[in-house]
Structure 1
Amino acid sequence: MLAAPFQRLDRYLTDHCLYWQFSPFAVNDYPWRQQNPALAQWLDELPDEQLASWQINAEQALPACKRFLPELMAADALYPLQKHQQSLPAPFWLQSGIKGRKWQQISAFAALFNRRPGPILEWCAGKGHLGRLLAWQFAQPVISVEWQAELCQQGQQVARQQHVNQRFVCADVLKDKLDEYVQADQQLVALHACGQLHIKMLQEAVKNRVQAVYLCPCCYQLITQETYHPLSQAGQYTQLQLSRADLRLAVQETVTAPHRDRHKRLQERLYRQMFDIWQRQHLGQDNYLPVPSAPDYLFRQPPQAFLQWAAQQKGLVFVPSVDLSGLEVTARQRLKLLERMELVQHLFRRALELWLVLDRSLYLEEHGYHVQILEFCTRQITPRNLVIVAQT
């Protein structure tokens, strides 16, 4: 049932990999300039104001880009999704300590359960907000598994205060044996479980033949391998070779990020571009040199602090006499090019996410589950709004 749309998405992404499967930081020009010079010229001449508008919602740029790439399709056309965008009413005290948008996600996820489920196991629970709502909603026990002891303690304390039947188990789901807790009659649930964590959840679900799975996956790039190994049998035949950087593209949407986070991200990108330009000049080579994650405080300081830190990470010495203003001008010009590359790249972002969700769904379907993929809330509440609902 799901194999046909998966194969359709697979062909689409494979045929257009030139336009999305690259690292903008690592290239100096559009990878498609020779193959599609008209698109490159149009992007070069695109006004900054129009670009800024489309950066908020890249799919709005699709009609304009289709003039130069007629095969472009919206993700919804490649695989139409059923929407289940409701919310669960709950008393105000149950929402205490949960931020507004987070509560909207939790209540929309809980509304997926249209009848009393079997025993519930909450996977990678954090403080157990979802499990607590489900325990209250159905007046039945919930087991919440979380590896951070402090979060388990905090969640257990809140459950006691609110008289909710919720028990926390402190365990590392990637290392610890969970056969004692994962049972065939259970509903296994997870809201925004990352990469390898939700992959392990699906494997445990299949191994123990759990009754139902409710999974909203997130952070697909957080896996143990350097390249992605498809879960489904159908995925074994793909020509796509997805690196962690490719997987990160699926979660790069920032429609819910607060202003300060967007500002920090822009500052970080500028500083990283400045370092990249400097290191190419300093080393006399034209290769990208990746730099690890940096402390946030560096992006609240003048660029020299980050440049010195980044150079140290790579065993280089940054000379303070470097013309920082000239470096910044060049970096801002490169950022304009990078942002235009990303505009096209992001037109394939949702299609890639759907490919990944379909691979997980097919894995369950191949093991005898009846599977649905739903949008459980709007993308303004969270861009990661896809949920896999699988039942035996």
Structure 2
Amino acid sequence: MFTRVGASAFKTDLHNTLALLEKLQHPQHAFKTIHVAGTNGKGSSSHMLAAIFQQAGYKTGLYTSPHLLDFRERIRINGQMVPEDFVIRFTEQMRTHITDIAPSFFELTVAMAFSYFQQEAVDIAIIEVGLGGRLDSTNVITPELSLITNISYDHKNILGDTLPKIASEKAGIIKAGVPVVISETQSEVQDVFVNTAAALNAPIHFADQEWMESSSAIEGNHLVITLLDTRQQQMRRFQLDLNGQYQEKNVMGVLSSVKILQQNGWHITWEHISGALSHVKKLTGLRGRWEVIQQHPLTVLDVGHNEAGIREVMEQLGHVNYQQLHIVVGFVKDKEVEKVLPLFPVNARYYFCKASIPRAMDEMALSEMAAESGLQGHAFASVQAALQAARQHAQPDDMILVCGSFFIVAEVM
């Protein structure tokens, strides 16, 4: 299972997924889809899109990964997790095929999601790529639209060690004649997407060229953002219940996607969009994105875990007032931790810890590596011990940030 052990569990072709889906009579063709890839922001963007379709009255499937607390978070319809009895029945039904095909955990989960969405006759399903794009198990669909959020360094041992190489893997979800939206124009990889789209005759849109931020501010638990639609010279104001400032780029990608879908006959109004964006968490169950779980001391969970994700989290810290910052942090072994640690502030107190999975980085090794970047703190054998220590040391006007990996955040939850 990739989540627990890492690259050794990753399959490098679509053979097993296609074999499983054949046994199920190709459920992936029974409903319409949107495919979402990218290094950071693909989860938030997928949940925003799902919320919008739900608000517009469509029966909406949502497939995402990884989960935080319950495996069933990965497969939802209108925000509700797949029932346990479906998971059990599906696994029993596929038992002999599992033995014959020997799929990975992820491959089997993709087949399960598509089978469930077919059984429940969803109007549309938002499908988030697990890793990469070209060889990802989800890349067996022909979607209504492809959305690629951003490209930064992650899983270099699998996807490649340059941004253009990583981008070309993500560009693998672009399909012939199917529109593709790129959330963020990045000069290093722009040509990869333009050339791939041109070769496949796929209309391409760069969202941050279609929208321009006019203003943004945090008001309570909401990010209030005003955007200029540069095509129609019209201002649009949105209130997001995802209050990380970094969501602005994701919102632009989502809005450009929705405009194309509107033109293609999906009945989605601006009222639907506005209502959905202010209730994404409630509609879809999204958690772990700048999630405030306590006010005094302010305690925030964020699943940011790679170079770009941590950079966004650190920028968000600049918008917060606190006396002393306490950071509970841990990583998995296959992240480039030495590139990420210099992004952290040296004036915070650190509580280095290890999630209870085989893939977790040793807390003592992390502490020693952090010291080389000037980060001071103590190492704890468990996430709970680290959090308890942070809470004991934090004053009411302080802030506790929990980040570094999905697994650290999950154990705090």
Same fold (TM over 0.5): no
Greater share of residues in helix: 1
Greater share of residues in strand: 2
Larger Rg: 1
TM score, norm. by length of structure 1: 0.31
Larger RCO (alpha carbons 8 Å, 6+ apart): 1
